[in-house]
């Protein structure tokens, strides 16, 4: 379920970015500039919401990271003690 939400959010971010690019390339008018700004603002807000959502899921333990960096999160810090 969490993966589906993240995938949908990524797709919406890409669509918003494409919409902003489309309105940026079209001949300039005041209306097109406003549409570009709205699309980019929506993308930024959606990206922040996605980041906070993933952070909360990892912090609460509902989602456990997998992959290369996951081993670093599970290890205990190494303490170096020198005996002389």
Asked whether residue 28 carries a pLDDT value surpassing 90, the answer given is no
Average pLDDT over residues 3-21: 92
The reported pLDDT for the residue numbered 33 is 83
Rounded to an integer, what distance in angstroms lies between the CA atom of residue 37 and that of residue 57?
A: 30
Residue 37 lies in a domain: yes
Residue 10 lies in a domain: yes
Asked whether residue 58 carries a pLDDT value surpassing 90, the answer given is no
The reported pLDDT for the residue numbered 82 is 61
Residue 83 lies in a domain: no
Q: Range of 60's domain?
A: 2-74
Instruction: Please count the structural domains in the chain.
Output: 1
Query: What is the share, in percent, of the chain residues with pLDDT greater than 70?
Result: 81
The reported pLDDT for the residue numbered 84 is 53
Residue 79 lies in a domain: no
Closest CA to 63 of 9, 13, 6: 6
């Amino acid at each position: 379920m969490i993966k589906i939400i993240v995938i949908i959010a990524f797709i919406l971010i890409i669509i918003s970015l494409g919409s902003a690019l489309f309105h940026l390339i079209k001949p300039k008018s005041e209306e097109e500039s406003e549409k570009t700004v709205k699309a980019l603002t929506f993308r930024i807000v959606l990206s922040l919401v996605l980041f906070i959502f993933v952070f909360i899921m990892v912090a609460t333990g509902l989602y456990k990271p997998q992959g290369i960096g996951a081993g670093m999160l599970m290890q205990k810090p190494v303490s170096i003690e020198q005996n002389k």
